[in-house]
Every structure is written in structure tokens, then in C-alpha cells.
């Protein structure tokens, strides 16, 4: 534990937009950050990691502690997982291998149940935390990330060796302090599941509608019919959360809606996944919440409809991809 | 009335797939059929009207009583309106001009409230009937229609000089007999509104989903998630109908679903409208039923969501069209 509190070593698993942004911020603050890279390895070795931030200005990290294989990475005290939740099962052995004893694994992913899935595949000695990112960021090219706005990461403890509430809180506070030291706003959350449901209130309407309607937030928020639909979907998610025991703050839908209205036009990550022909994160963002709400006696008919439409679109797209590329 | 019962003259307003098919069938049976044509006038004068029927074989009507202007048409005892319901307001004066005294106007259109809209714009001396077509047919080229399957037209009386039930029934039976004489299966319906709701059970899911998911009935019926969604949408329409006082036959959703499963792959008319950049028939097929159900205390949340998505798609497409083409 001494290592951890003095100068923790941080590993980034999945150096896309999210992993790239937070990894760069932490490295700039002097942390020893190591990046696991696949397709972007050569580009990052050659030109470094770039974040064109509309908040902080242009940022460049070069050279980068870039690793093509997890076997080359030193053991990390913190692992930030920025990869898509669709690949969690494949990532588990890599995470276990990169983790120092007692490491903290932070899933910077959307949706519900992502920690449960990894928990079953990781040693009990590892802490798992969930991190909810409030950020508009996308990958522009290999090694180049565009940061449009936001950046906060709220952390909550999921499971692991910290059995007492105070211990869990200490681990989470440690992570939040680490992010804040890197200039990233971060709060410790008492209830990770509640926080995940809160984030779903945004992700469920905007991610799905961006794919079905092929539109960014600007166009969606500009249409009176879609505005009504967004509010209606948000309210279903809030009812689903309540059925699962998570009463969200009053006016929460209205708050997110007004916030999105003021955002610059944004293409949610699911749209980018669709455009890049990657599998959509339907399990974590739709199926798991629908199942949880249904188990608690709550139907979410419009969320279900959106999920069904997305399932069709995702299946068709994957069927279209030649096997060699899939 | 003598004219009508002896050898009625029939006018076709809107010679697209529907108008072209039924007009040709009636003309082949020896009726005096006159077609009002716009963009297809030259092609039809040159090559006649062709129906490539997968049921009856290739059919050709030549020469055609084709008219470019309603002013050139003789007064018609029956007028079959096959134009899109989106143009009804513009068609009313043309219909009034082409109609013989006491003529019967049959709206071969989908949706709810289409007769109400025209009623307000036509003289009281004209009968208005609704005709529900159970047919898979599309326009392939100017003057060329492809008939895939089906063909029945069920008729119901909406409003007009026939005030007594028996009189109304007589007018409807007369129309059904006329169609049957042309080899078209036709039944008189006691309750037009009920019949319109029944047809909506098909049109609401398949028309809308074909546009939102860019898929024909074959692909829609092949996907397990979309199959569930279709049944769910059908059941909402059935509940909406019941709230409005129209109890549909038991197992009606299942009947239509199984029927569609056996159909050859079919691209619903709304998809063809979308592809041809025509306005979508959202008012008649979605907005009017939603309003009627809501007024009767019934919400149809998934139908509403489909309508909202379609509204967005329709608006965007029309905004994209240069003004000169709109």
C-alpha cells in the first residue's frame, strides 16, 4: 500500500478517447502512466498522444509509456479501463496481469452491471470501482483525441477487499484525490448503482436516438417531437431507477435536458461506435437496466422499443461486415 | 341514379400504384374509366397503363382515357381516390369538379380521419366512402405498376345524402358489386371506423418501422427483437381501438402477424414515399389515431414514439429538399 499512496503507477487499458484523455492528464501531472495500445501503438510511438482540448488548449504527451502487450507493462496500482464494455470479458485476463497486488480497477464505462461482469473474472484481491465520466470527447485519428467539454469523473466503490464502509470510502477518496491532482474534477459517490442509473438518464435517450435517427444532440434538441420523446425516455429511466430503489433528485430529467441544450452539438459514443462499425454497448446501456427494472416490477416500454430497434441495427451492421473485419 | 346503376362512369384521382391497379381492373371489365394524371400523363398516353401482376399475369390497358386536367374529364359517378392522404386538401376542388351529381367518392387511403377532412371541403350532395385495400402493389416506373399479392377492397359508408342505414348499405353494396364485377374481391363493411382501426393494426408497425429501420417486411420479420416490437405495437393499436369503442376480433394481431410472415418481402408504401422524398402520411396513420385514443383516455406510448421518430425523419428530409423540388 505504500507504493500506492506515495506515487501510484497508473495503467490505461483501452487508450481510446476516454483512456487517452485521462491518461494524458494524469501523466502531465507527473504520475507514472502506462498505456496499453493495439492499433494505435505505432502512431503513438511516432507522434505521441495528442489531446486537442477546447477547454485546456492543445495538449501533447511525448514520449508515451506505450505498450503493445500487457506482458511488457509494469504492475500498476491503478488501472483505468476506458475500453468498450462489450470487450470486458476479453479484457479480464489482461487487467489481472497488469494489476499490482491490491490494485484498484476503475471502469470508466457506461451502463449497468459492467463491474459485476468483471468481478466474476478477476481475483478477489483486486478492488473494483466504477467511474462515471461527464465529458464530451472523441477520437479523431490514431493518437489524436478531441476534448469538447466537461471532464469530471465521479467514483464509487463496487467490490473487493475493502469490506468496511470506511475502507471503501478511503479507496474512493484516494482515487478522487489522484484525479483532482491531475486537474480533473472528481467526487466520491456513496452509491455507485444510483450514480449509474443517473448517468443512464442521459445515455439511454441520447446514445440510442443518435444511432436510430442518425443525428447529433444539436439536431435532436432542435426538433419538438424528439424533445418530447427524450423527456419521456428520461422519465421512464427515472421510474426504472426508483423501482430498483434509487430515487433520483427531483427535476433530474429537466436538469440533464437543459444541460444538453447548452452543450455544443455532440455525437454520442454509441453513434461513433456505429459509424466505426463497432459493436454497440447495448447490453450495459439497455438490456441490463431493462432486466433490472423488470425484475423490480417496472416496465419501460419506450426504452425497450429503443433497445429493440438498436438490436436490429446492430445485428444488421454486423451481418454486413465481412468476416475478416468483424 | 339511372346512369349509376346501368353503366357507371368511373374516375381515378391519383393514378399511382393503387389508382392504376384498380382503374385498370375496372377498365378491363368494360367500365368507362377515366384517369387523372400529372407527371405520368405523357408516358401513359404513349405506352398505355401496365400492371405487372404476379397474380393475374401481365396486364396492359391501351389506349387509356387519360386526362391531364380535371376540366377535361367527363362527370363521373364513382371517383376512386388513390392519391396520398397528404394531398387531400388540394384534391377537394378537383374531386368536386369531376363528380357527377350524387357521385360516390371512395377514399382508397390508409389511416384515420381522411374522410372527415374531405367531407368539410366537398358538397353535401356527394357520398363519401372509405375503401380499405389489402394489396401489395407498387409503382415501378411512369405508367408501370407491379402487383405482388392480394387485391381486396373493403368498403364502408362515411357520410353524404344517404341518411338511412339501408340506403347507406345499398350504396356500399353497389360499390362492392362494381369491384367484384372487375374481378376484385370486395366486402361491404358495416362500420368504417372499426375497419380503419383494423387496418391500422398493420399499418402502424410496418409502415413506420420500414422507414425508421430502412427495412422491408422480410428483414423486419426475420429479427427476434423487431418481431416482439411489432406485436407490442399491434397490441397498443388494438387497445387504442377498444378505447374508441371498436373491439377488434380476438387474436387479430396474431392473424395479421402470421399473414405478414407468409407474404413475400414487401416495402410498405411509407417506405416508398420516404425513398421518393414524398411527405409521409403521418397525420392519418399516426397523429389522428393517437389523438383519438388519447381523447378516449388511452395512451399508446410506443406508437407515439414511432410517430415522433418519423416526424423527425420526415422534417429532416423535407428540410433537405431544395425549395424548387418540395
DSSP letters for A128-144: EEEEEEEEEEEEEETTE
Distance CA A291, CA A283 (A): 10
Q: Using CB atoms within 10 Å of the CB of residue B323, give its burial: 0 to 12 exposed, 13 to 18 middle, 19+ buried.
A: exposed
Distance CA A78, CA A316 (A): 38
- On whether the CB atoms of residues A188 and A156 are closer than 8 A, the answer is yes
Q: What pLDDT does residue A131 have? A: 96
- From chain A, the residues in CB contact with B306 under 8 A are 305
Contact check, Cβ <8 Å, B305/A223: no
- From chain B, the residues in CB contact with A305 under 8 A are 229, 232, 302, 305-306
Q: Region of B138 please: left (phi>0), alpha (psi -120 to 50) or beta.
A: beta
Q: What pLDDT does residue B148 have? A: 92
Angstroms from A145 CA to nearest CA on chain B: 30
Q: What is the pLDDT of residues A214-269, one digit of tens each?
A: 999 999 999 999 999 999 999 999 999 999 999 998 899 999 999 999 988 999 99
Catalytic entry in B25, B199, B201, B252: B199
Residue ranges of chain B with per-residue pLDDT less than 70: 1-6, 321-326
Q: What pLDDT does residue A163 have? A: 87
Give every CB contact of residue B253 below 8 A, 6+ residues apart in sequence. Answer: B201, B231, B234, B235, B238
- On whether the CB atoms of residues B243 and B296 are closer than 8 A, the answer is yes
Q: Which chain A residue has its CA at the smallest distance from B302's CA?
A: A302
B199 is catalytic: yes
Put simply, whether A212 touches B (Cβ < 8 Å) is: yes
Give every CB contact of residue B152 below 8 A, 6+ residues apart in sequence. Answer: B133, B134, B135, B184, B185, B186, B187
Q: What pLDDT does residue A2 have? A: 40
Q: What pLDDT does residue B320 have? A: 74
Angstroms from A38 CA to nearest CA on chain B: 34
Comparing CB atoms, the residue among A212, A304, A315 nearest residue B309 is A212
Q: What pLDDT does residue B321 have? A: 55
Q: What pLDDT does residue B7 have? A: 82
Q: What pLDDT does residue A191 have? A: 93
Angstroms from A214 CA to nearest CA on chain B: 9
- From chain B, the residues in CB contact with A222 under 8 A are none
Contact check, Cβ <8 Å, B308/A212: no
Comparing CB atoms, the residue among A209, A223, A313 nearest residue B213 is A313
Q: What pLDDT does residue B290 have? A: 98
- On whether the CB atoms of residues A57 and A88 are closer than 8 A, the answer is no
Q: Which chain A residue has its CA at the smallest distance from B222's CA?
A: A312
- From chain B, the residues in CB contact with A311 under 8 A are 223, 225-226
Residue ranges of chain A with per-residue pLDDT less than 50: 1-5, 323-326
- From chain A, the residues in CB contact with B226 under 8 A are 308-309, 311-312
Put simply, whether B226 touches A (Cβ < 8 Å) is: yes
Question: What is the percent of chain A where pLDDT is above 70?
Answer: 96
Q: What pLDDT does residue B199 have? A: 94
ipTM metric:
0.87
Angstroms from A306 CA to nearest CA on chain B: 9
Amino acid at each position: 500500500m505504500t507504493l500506492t499512496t506515495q506515487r501510484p503507477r497508473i495503467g490505461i487499458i483501452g487508450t481510446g478517447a476516454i483512456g487517452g484523455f485521462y491518461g494524458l492528464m494524469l501523466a502531465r501531472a507527473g504520475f507514472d502512466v502506462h498505456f496499453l495500445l493495439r492499433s494505435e501503438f505505432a502512431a503513438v510511438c511516432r507522434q505521441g498522444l495528442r489531446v486537442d482540448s477546447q477547454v485546456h488548449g492543445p495538449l501533447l504527451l511525448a514520449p508515451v509509456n506505450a505498450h503493445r502487450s500487457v506482458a511488457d507493462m509494469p504492475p500498476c496500482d491503478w488501472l483505468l479501463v476506458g475500453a468498450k464494455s462489450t470487450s470486458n470479458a476479453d479484457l479480464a485476463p489482461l487487467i489481472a496481469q497488469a494489476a499490482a497486488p491490491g490494485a484498484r480497477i476503475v471502469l470508466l464505462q457506461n451502463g449497468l452491471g459492467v463491474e459485476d461482469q468483471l468481478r466474476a473474472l478477476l481475483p478477489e484481491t483486486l478492488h473494483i470501482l466504477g467511474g462515471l465520466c461527464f465529458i464530451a470527447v472523441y477520437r479523431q485519428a490514431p493518437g489524436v483525441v478531441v476534448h469538447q467539454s466537461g471532464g469530471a469523473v465521479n467514483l464509487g466503490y463496487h467490490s473487493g477487499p475493502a469490506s468496511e464502509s470506511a475502507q471503501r470510502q478511503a479507496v474512493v477518496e484516494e482515487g478522487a484525490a489522484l484525479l483532482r491532482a491531475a486537474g480533473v474534477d472528481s467526487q466520491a459517490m456513496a452509491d455507485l448503482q444510483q450514480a449509474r442509473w443517473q448517468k443512464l438518464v442521459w445515455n439511454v435517450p441520447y446514445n440510442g436516438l443518435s444511432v436510430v435517427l442518425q443525428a447529433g444532440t444539436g439536431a435532436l434538441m432542435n426538433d419538438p417531437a424528439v424533445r418530447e420523446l427524450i423527456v419521456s425516455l428520461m422519465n421512464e429511466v427515472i421510474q426504472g431507477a426508483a423501482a430498483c430503489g434509487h430515487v433520483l433528485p427531483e427535476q433530474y430529467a429537466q436538469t440533464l435536458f437543459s444541460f444538453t441544450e447548452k452543450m455544443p452539438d455532440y455525437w454520442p459514443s454509441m453513434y461513433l461506435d456505429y459509424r466505426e462499425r463497432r459493436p454497440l454497448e447495448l447490453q450495459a446501456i439497455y438490456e441490463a437496466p431493462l432486466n433490472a427494472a423488470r425484475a423490480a416490477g417496472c416496465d419501460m416500454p419506450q426504452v425497450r422499443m429503443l433497445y429493440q430497434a438498436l438490436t436490429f441495427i446492430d445485428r444488421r451492421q454486423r451481418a454486413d461486415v465481412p468476416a475478416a473485419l468483424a
